[in-house]
Every structure is written in structure tokens, then in C-alpha cells.
Amino acid sequence: MKEEDNIRKKVSTENPFTVPEGYFDNLTDEIMSKLPEKEEILPTKELSTWAKIRPWLYMAAMFIAILLPIRYMVNSTKPKDPTLAIISSDNEQVTDEYIDAILDHAMMDDYTLYNYLTEADTDIYHN
């Protein structure tokens, strides 16, 4: 506490800065006179119809450019001829483990599966 009092006595509590008399009376007027004149704001031009539609067209073209190759790749893997689809599905190999898992799930034994396959009345066996 004594140290603070000693410091205040040495420095004093008065404001060391002074301002000339009447300095702030005309300060705002002087600052305003030094500022540049306000520029005229030009009215914005109305956008044309093409300028409004253009971003949407660009976005649509982008999606088409992305989706068409994907559609082409998906469709190129499928056989176009229905007979080829049947042949390709007949050529697919199913592993024994897969069949065993299905039979276990269906609770079918070999005899029941044999009866089911021999009694099947489909057009596949009549051709």
C-alpha cells in the first residue's frame, strides 16, 4: 500500500496530456470535410433470363455427364439377348457350401430335395 502511494506521489494522478481549448468543438466538421464525397450508387441491372437459367443448365449438364457413363457401364454388363441371359444364368456355378447352407436353413434333407426336383412341373424339363 505504501509503495502504491509513493508511486502515485512520484507520477501524480493528474492526466499528463492536454488538449487545446475548443479542439473538440469543430473536430467532427473538420473530419467530415476531409472525407471524400459519397460516390453515387448505380442501380443494379436486371439479370436477363439467360443469366438466370445458365447456372441451372450447367448443373444439369454436369449431372448428365456423370450419370450417362454410369448408365452405359451398368447396361453394358447385362446381356441384351434374353437367350444369352438364360445361358449365362445356367453357366453360373454355385458352391456346395452355399447349397448346404440353404438346405440347412430350409430344413430339407436329400430325399425331400430329390422329390422336389423330380416333381417340378415347369417348361424347362419339357423342351
Q: Quick check: is 12 in a domain?
A: no
Residues 74 and 88 in one domain: no
Residue 123 reports pLDDT greater than 60: no
The pLDDT value given to residue 7: 82
Q: Quick check: is 57 in a domain?
A: yes
Q: Quick check: is 25 in a domain?
A: no
Whether residue 94 contacts residue 86, with contact meaning beta carbons closer than 8 Å, is answered with no
Q: Quick check: is 94 in a domain?
A: yes
Residue 121 reports pLDDT greater than 70: no
Q: Quick check: is 30 in a domain?
A: no
Q: Quick check: is 59 in a domain?
A: yes
**Domain tally for the chain?**
2
Burial of 108 (0-12, 13-18, 19+ CB in 10 A): middle
Between 86 and 39, the higher pLDDT residue: 39
Range of the domain at 114: 81-121
List pLDDT tens digits, range 55-109: 999 999 999 999 999 888 887 766 566 665 565 555 566 677 777 777 777 777 7
